[in-house]
């Protein structure tokens, strides 16, 4: 086992920025990305020449995205890396920026996520290997089957699963950067014909376009440049893992989430009871329930009842996906993981406006990507 992030130099989030997640448009990816980066620079009180490394997470745009986009800020000669890791592309870019600062290679680095909706070219489909399912099962069908199994195992109703979407659409309606900005009732969510099993359209995330940026800095950079330490948020841990064989497990994403979260919490030196805010990969409503239980935030089969009781609401026991989550904030792929860090940073600063969870000090961001990979980051507000 190698060194954990906390064994290296402290890493602080000092600036965040977003371009609204939205339906595909004529807006170029350059405009999307630069809007987010400029927002993060302004938020941090930095100029572009002070950034020493850039990591751009994207899954759909093709090669040379970062260089094509960032040259409009000035050709400063810094190392630029493009990161693709499926839905965890932005999360992985953030981890790489954190490691750059933690190891002392850079004092200031930026993680960017940007994408526009394109038909993905999935490598597994071209692997030349036969399997029993292949492209015949859409993701919504896979998660509808998981929802069916979960409901039967724990006696959960379709209405309880749909309440995940009700909560997250309510949160997204308060978020000016969200793809979907309209509150939905339970009747709204369940009133449409299911796409598969019990899952309706509003229980499935929209995939559009957008951008997010997070600037991280070392203690010495914060001091040297006179950055506002009271608004900095420390990254306690950043863990990235891939699936292995889980004998007897019905859901490898849940097992991978369980292991990755346990490692991230151990490295951060905290437990689930310390978490005030969680941004979870809820591409489909059932995922929120499954992943909260896998993380150990509650017991197996308990997440739905706690949701009904308001435990995961803003102002409840722990605010889950106060941004609106993937279901409402949206899932433009490349930006999603970076955008989760933006939301947690705003929550821990007390700058989330109508979405603010009272007394938020510690947050966790969780993303799963096809492969499967899982990224978990733990952040804590400045003391």
pLDDT in tens, 191-240: 999 999 999 999 999 999 999 999 999 999 999 999 999 999 999 999 99
Q: Looking at per-residue confidence, does 4 or 377 come out higher?
A: 377
Question: What Cα–Cα distance (Å) separates residue 251 from each residue in 138, 264, 344?
Answer: 16, 20, 27
pLDDT at 367: 97
Is 195 a domain residue? no
Residues comprising the chain, all counted: 383
pLDDT digits (tens, 9 = 90+) for 71-103: 999 999 999 999 999 999 999 999 999 999 999
Q: Where does residue 121 rank: exposed (0-12), middle (13-18), buried (19+ CB within 10 A)? A: exposed
* pLDDT at position 252: 85
Condensed to tens digits (0 to 9), the pLDDT of residues 105-145 reads 999 999 999 999 876 666 666 666 666 555 555 889 989 99
Whether the link from the prior residue into 372 is cis, omega within 30° of 0, is yes
**CATH number of the CATH domain containing 224:** 3.40.47.10
Percentage with pLDDT > 70 across the chain: 95
Average pLDDT value for residue range 247-266: 91
Q: What percent of the chain is modeled with pLDDT above 90?
A: 87
| Nearest CA-CA partner of 143 in 319, 270, 283, 28 | 283
- The total domain count for the chain is 1
d(CA 107, CA 222): 9
Q: Domain for residue 16, yes or no?
A: yes
Q: Rounded to an integer, what distance in angstroms lies between the CA atom of residue 354 and that of residue 349?
A: 14
pLDDT band at 250 (very low <50, low <70, confident <90, very high): confident
- Is 273 inside any structural domain? yes
**125 within 8 A of 69, measured Cβ to Cβ:** no
- Full residue range of the structural domain in which residue 112 is found: 5-119+206-381
Please report whether residue 172 resides in a domain: no
pTM more than 0.85: yes
In a domain, 331, yes or no: yes
In a domain, 28, yes or no: yes
Cα gap 7→267, rounded to integer Å: 9
Q: Is the residue at 131 inside a domain?
A: no
What DSSP assignment string belongs to 116-164?
-------GGGGS----SSGGGS-HHHHHHHHHHHHHHHHT--HHHHHHH
Residue 105 within a domain = yes
C-alpha 63/C-alpha 134 separation (Å) is 26
Mean pLDDT of the residues in the chain: 94
């Amino acid at each position: 086992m190698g060194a954990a992030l906390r064994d290296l130099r402290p890493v602080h989030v000092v600036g965040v920025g977003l371009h609204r997640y939205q339906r595909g448009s004529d807006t170029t990816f350059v405009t999307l990305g630069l809007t987010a980066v400029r927002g993060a620079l302004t938020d941090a009180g930095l100029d572009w020449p002070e950034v020493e490394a850039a990591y751009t997470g994207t899954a759909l745009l093709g090669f040379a995205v970062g260089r094509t986009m960032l040259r409009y800020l000035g050709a400063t000669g810094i190392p630029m890396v493009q990161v693709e890791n499926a839905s965890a592309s932005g999360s992985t870019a953030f981890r790489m920026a954190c490691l750059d600062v933690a190891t002392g290679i850079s004092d200031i680095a930026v993680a960017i996520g940007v994408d526009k909706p394109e038909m993905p070219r999935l490598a597994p489909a071209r692997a030349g290997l036969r399997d029993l399912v292949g492209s015949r099962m859409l993701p919504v069908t896979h998660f509808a089957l998981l929802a069916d199994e979960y409901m039967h195992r724990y006696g959960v109703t379709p209405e309880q699963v749909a309440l995940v979407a009700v909560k997250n659409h309510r949160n997204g309606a308060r978020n000016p950067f969200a793809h979907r900005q309209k509150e939905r009732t339970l009747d709204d969510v369940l009133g449409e014909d299911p796409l598969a099993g019990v899952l309706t359209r509003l229980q499935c995330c929209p995939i559009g376009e957008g951008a997010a940026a997070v600037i991280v800095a070392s203690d010495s950079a914060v001091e040297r440049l006179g950055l506002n330490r009271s608004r900095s948020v420390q990254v306690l841990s950043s863990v990235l893992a891939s699936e292995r064989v889980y004998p007897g497990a019905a859901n490898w994403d849940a097992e991978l989430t369980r292991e990755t979260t346990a490692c991230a919490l151990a490295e951060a030196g905290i437990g689930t009871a310390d978490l005030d805010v969680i941004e979870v990969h809820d591409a489909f409503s059932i995922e929120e329930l499954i992943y909260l239980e896998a993380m150990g935030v509650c017991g197996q089969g308990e997440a739905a009842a706690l949701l009904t009781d308001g435990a995961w609401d803003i102002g409840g026991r722990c605010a889950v996906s106060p941004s609106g989550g993937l279901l409402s904030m949206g899932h433009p792929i490349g930006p999603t993981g970076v955008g989760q860090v933006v939301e947690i940073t705003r929550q821990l600063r007390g700058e989330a406006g109508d979405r603010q969870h009272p007394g938020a000090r510690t947050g966790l961001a969780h993303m799963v990507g096809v492969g499967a990979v899982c990224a978990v980051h733990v952040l804590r507000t400045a003391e």
